[in-house]
Amino acid sequence: MLFVVFVFVMLGLLEIDIIQRNLASEGGATGTRLVSTCREIAHKLRKYMAVRTLMSLLTGLAVWAFTALIGLELAPAWGVITFALNYIFIGPLVAALLPTVFSLVQYGSFRTAATVFIGMNLIQFFSGSYIEPRFAGATLAISPFAILLAVFFRGFMWGLAGAFIGVQLTIAAFTICEQSPSTRWIAQILSGRRVTG
């Protein structure tokens, strides 16, 4: 499944300039509006990836500080591993389990291992379920609830691949809804902002 998605994305990226020129020259007003919508989606996706990078970096730094405070060996490595795993959406569980098992080996104490496990999960929970959705929502003008729902719903439907692309699909759908007067109300509801007027 992931290989098929990868092939389609690569083939699509090879033809992006051709499609853009064809839409602009042959598509009339609809083609021009579609090119403009695609540019807006690309702009928002770049902003989201910047937010994702920053939040993964902050989570990695928090894990590094926590593991260093506990005295766990390889604290910088745990921070880097957490950053990498968090960035690709498989971090919360794996990034918590690896240092937990390592602390059990290093200290031989289930109490210390439980402390590491709880601390790592608290960091991951606040970062991934509270801070990042709120920060991404404020940056992209999308409700943090919609962002969390996108990750969990798409993850439930399509597994890891769905969790990985859930927010991106929601950003694209949100932007498309913004462009049309008949669907703008959907974008206003999902924006998480109070509508005035």
Among residues of the chain, what percentage have pLDDT more than 70? Answer: 93
Helices (H), 16-90: 16-26, 28-70, 75-87
pLDDT category of residue 76 using cuts at 50, 70 and 90: very high
pLDDT in tens, 46-72: 888 888 889 889 989 999 999 999 888
| Total-model pTM | 0.75
pLDDT over 70 (residue 192): no
Q: Let me know: does 78 contact 100? Beta carbons within 8 Å.
A: no
pLDDT digits (tens, 9 = 90+) for 19-44: 778 777 776 777 778 888 888 888 88
| Encoded tokens for 106 | 């290093």
CB count, 10 Å around CB of 158?
14
